[in-house]
Amino acid sequence: MNKEFLEIAKNAKIASINAQKLSNDIKNQALKTIAKRLEEKKEEVFDANKQDMKEAEELLKNGEISQSMYNRLKLDENKMRDMIQGLVDISKLPDPVNKKLFERELDKGLILTKVTCPIGVLGIIFEARPDVISQISALAIKSSNAVILKGGKESINTNKAILGIINSALDSVEGFPKNMLNQVFSRDDVKEMLEADKYIDLIIPRGGNSLVQFIKSNTKIPVLGHADGICHIFVDETADYDMAKKVIIDAKTQYPSACNAVETLLISDKFSRADELLKELENAGIKLISNPESWHKEYSDKILAYKYVSSVGEAIEHINEYGSGHTESIITSDKNNAELFMDMVDSAGVYHNASTRFADGFRYGFGAEVGISTNKTHARGPVGMDGLVIYKYKLRGSGDTVIDYVKGEKHFTHKDL
């Protein structure tokens, strides 16, 4: 490990330990200070982003980045507003640290408690989307975690500007630990991060399939995230036509490059207005594909694969076979079919009569998100603060020993308090 990265990693680990003592008041003050400073300095961020956008045009022409990545790179007033509002919203949420999950008397005077605690040091590797820095920083501060951020080269100027403003704001907050939020820039730094299992507790990748698969294959550190966003909408035979049209168009066109945009449309062969629906989707600028090379494909564009199915059961089978475990929706007036779909589809998000685009930490009321997880570990779906804390057990006694229980001289009560 090179000396420069080693110093960053060590300092982040120390900061993560010191952060466990942070009061909720100091964390909230930090978040509000950052929000205010970003509002004051937003033109600096926009200028940096314009520089990145200009340089990214050449990368796009040369095929070094995709159109969807280029689109995600742009930081406008709307995204800045959401960034600032996310900081404010998170400051209003309860402190996720030191929440008592249960308290149990093992024996008289021997009390076990289970409490939430920070994960420690988070390694975040992401492509484009510079607003990720604000979201992750806010969630890390509130959950008392340190972070090491590695953004893509395409957004380096914006990333530097945003984190510079954030750390400048934190420097003015008395009692806030140094080195909580860190940033690295080179490709070699990614290799260093993946090998830093002594210092980094969790890696969270935010990017395309190739990035996520590379990270999972090259680290011993636990990885939280998703590789693909192959989302489905199933139009059941009892679906309201206007609702189906509205939801599908939103899920495909509102932000086609997002991981929660719909990629496959399943239609009941008993839905009477299917032809009309498909025509309206084409009129909305969506390219329809009826026989794709693969059903396991994320288009990240206004392209939608579609297929007719005979039943809700066949729709469920298709999704569980070809989906990525991200987010799926059923459009139906049949409550039984809706419940069957939501019970049996094996994805992080299952919706009834709603756009898949709702799969987002901000829209879930988390304030922001560090990413979306299709894991089946401690966090699944949009990952907010609850996904950035784990738990520990605290046992308080008075000289208690196990041998007394082995000999039968004492007996456990195991009474929940």
Residue 142 shares a structural domain with residue 62: yes
In a domain, residue 416? The reply is no
Reported as a pLDDT band with limits 50, 70 and 90, residue 16 is very high
What per-residue confidence (pLDDT) applies to 133? 92
| Domain span at 318 | 231-358
Residue 248 shares a structural domain with residue 343: yes
In a domain, residue 403? The reply is no
Reported as a pLDDT band with limits 50, 70 and 90, residue 376 is confident
What per-residue confidence (pLDDT) applies to 213? 86
Alpha-carbon distance of 375 to 230, in angstroms, equals 15
Q: Which residues neighbour 177 within 8 Å (Cβ) at sequence distance 6 or greater?
A: 15, 18, 19, 22
In a domain, residue 410? The reply is no
Q: Where a domain ends, among 310, 336, 358?
A: 358
What per-residue confidence (pLDDT) applies to 278? 98
What per-residue confidence (pLDDT) applies to 412? 97
Residues 276-332 have pLDDT tens digits of 999 999 999 999 999 999 999 999 899 999 999 999 999 999 999 999 999 999 999
In a domain, residue 412? The reply is no
High-pLDDT (> 70) share of the chain, %: 100
Of 63-72, 112-121, 136-145, the least confident: 63-72
Number of independent structural domains in the chain: 2
Residue 202 shares a structural domain with residue 318: no
Give me the residues paired with residue 371 across strands: 383
Residue 147 shares a structural domain with residue 283: no
Residue 270 shares a structural domain with residue 168: no
Residue 365 has pLDDT above 90, yes or no: no
Across the range 217-242, mean pLDDT stands at 94
In a domain, residue 408? The reply is no
Residue 92 has pLDDT above 90, yes or no: yes
What angle is formed at CA 340 by the lines to CA 339 and CA 341, rounded to 5 degrees? 90
Q: How far is CA 357 from CA 26, 189, 350, in A?
A: 34, 33, 12
CB 46 within 8 A of CB 75: yes
In a domain, residue 404? The reply is no
Residue 331 shares a structural domain with residue 283: yes
Q: Which amino acid belongs to residue 85?
A: Q
Alpha-carbon distance of 60 to 116, in angstroms, equals 44
Residue 236 shares a structural domain with residue 218: no
Question: pTM for the complete prediction?
Answer: 0.86
Mean pLDDT of the chain: 94
Across the range 331-344, mean pLDDT stands at 98
Alpha-carbon distance of 188 to 20, in angstroms, equals 30
Reported as a pLDDT band with limits 50, 70 and 90, residue 64 is confident
Residue 218 shares a structural domain with residue 307: no
Phi and psi torsions of 150, nearest 5°: -130, 105
Reported as a pLDDT band with limits 50, 70 and 90, residue 361 is confident
Q: How far is CA 331 from CA 170, 242, 245, 250, 266, in A?
A: 46, 11, 10, 13, 10
Residue 152 has pLDDT above 90, yes or no: no
What per-residue confidence (pLDDT) applies to 128? 79
Residue 100 shares a structural domain with residue 159: yes
CB 54 within 8 A of CB 61: no
Q: How far is CA 319 from CA 32, 75, 208, 259, 277, in A?
A: 42, 34, 21, 16, 21
What per-residue confidence (pLDDT) applies to 228? 85
What angle is formed at CA 234 by the lines to CA 229 and CA 235, rounded to 5 degrees? 145
What per-residue confidence (pLDDT) applies to 293? 94
Residue 243 shares a structural domain with residue 162: no
Q: Where a domain ends, among 338, 358, 378?
A: 358
Burial category of 74 from C-beta neighbours within 10 Å (exposed 0-12, middle 13-18, buried 19 and up): middle
What per-residue confidence (pLDDT) applies to 384? 87
Across the range 86-109, mean pLDDT stands at 95
Residue 170 shares a structural domain with residue 276: no
In a domain, residue 152? The reply is yes
Name the H helices within 113-186. Answer: 131-142, 156-171
Residue 51 shares a structural domain with residue 183: yes
The CATH number of the domain where 313 resides is what?
3.40.309.10
The CATH number of the domain where 165 resides is what?
3.40.605.10
In a domain, residue 96? The reply is yes
Residues 171-211 have pLDDT tens digits of 999 999 999 999 999 989 999 999 999 999 999 998 777 88
